Amino acid sequence: MQRHRLSLSCVCLKQYILTYGNRFYKDFDVEFTICSADEHSLTDAWKGGKLTQNQTDGCGTGMLQKMTHNEAGTEAFGSELAGKLQVPTVICMYGELGAGKTAFVRGLASGLGITAAVSSPTFTIVNEYPGKPELIHFDMYRLHGADELFDVGWEDYLQRNAVLVIEWSENVEEAFDGSEISVHIQKLSETDRLITVEGDALC
Ligand SMILES: Nc1ncnc2c1ncn2[C@@H]1O[C@H](COP(=O)(O)OP(=O)(O)OP(=O)(O)O)[C@@H](O)[C@H]1O
Ligand SMILES: [Mg+2]
């Protein structure tokens, strides 16, 4: 199947995609950024058939969304996110087993200039990767609540000038205050993933 790539910046398009979702994505590789651009003018542009290029204007509430078709694509999106972070930051990852969370973190590490091999800290709970900034990678799969996260020193990690990324964030949701960046990975098929990144701290 021939695929097409669009680069869009339009709040109304988010709604369109949420409505028509998978059907739309079957034919298009879609990449778009929503920032503080005037929503109404973008909506008009969408209605008028004019699709605008990304319009970013510094850090603020934002959303990035991408469809990937293989592991390398997910890694590349993770690497792209590295360039949109303010440090320190907390990135909460959501997605079922095998969704591609660790693949995304591998790309994130690479985008931060970290060359060490990244693997899932399912048994160790946390892996630390030195760098500028350092990357702290948590896997909460085996935890049953925020108390256990505090036991592994969560508050100390928050004081570090680091990028903290957490797989299975849903297991420790009470530890978060809403300032985090969220990354949702939806497994649409064996190889298709819809990845949505949202947060007030995106640049
Ligand atoms: N588009 C894709 N993006 C990422 N991984 C993909 C994609 N298509 C297929 N895969 C496969 O899905 C698996 C993703 O594994 P990964 O360890 O990253 O998932 P995970 O979400 O971290 O799982 P877990 O919850 O067990 O930690 C890999 O085997 C990878 O090859
Ligand atoms: Mg994993």
Atom of ligand 1 minimally distant from the CA of 185: 21
Query: What b-and-e string marks burial along 166-200, b requiring 16 or more CB atoms within 10 Å of the CB?
Result: bbbbebbeebeeeebbbbbbbeeeeebbbbbbbbe
Using CA atoms, how far residue 162 sits from 40, 70, 78, 133, 199, in Å, is 37, 28, 16, 5, 17
Q: Can you tell me the distance from the alpha carbon of 119 to that of 106, in angstroms, rounded to the nearest whole number?
A: 8
pLDDT (average), residues 186-202? 95
Fold of 80-181: Rossmann fold (3.40.50)
The predicted-structure confidence for 55-83, as pLDDT tens digits, reads as follows 334 677 689 999 999 999 999 999 999 99
pTM of the predicted model as reported, rounded to 2 decimal places: 0.77
- Is the model's pLDDT at 47 over the cut of 50? no
Distance 201 CA to ligand 1 centre (A): 26
Is ligand 1 within 6 A of the CB of residue 103? yes
pLDDT of residue 13: 52
Helix boundaries (H) for the chain: 11-27, 39-47, 71-82, 101-111, 146-151, 154-159
Instruction: Quote the pLDDT of residue 11.
Output: 42
Q: Which ligand has the minimum distance to the alpha carbon of residue 184?
A: 1
Average pLDDT in the chain = 80
Ligand 1 center–CA 95 separation, angstroms: 10
pLDDT tens, position by position, 165-192: 999 999 999 999 999 999 999 999 999 9
189 lines ligand 1 (CB under 6 A): no
Q: Write down the residue that tokens 């969370």 correspond to.
A: 101
- For the chain, what are the domain ranges? 80-181
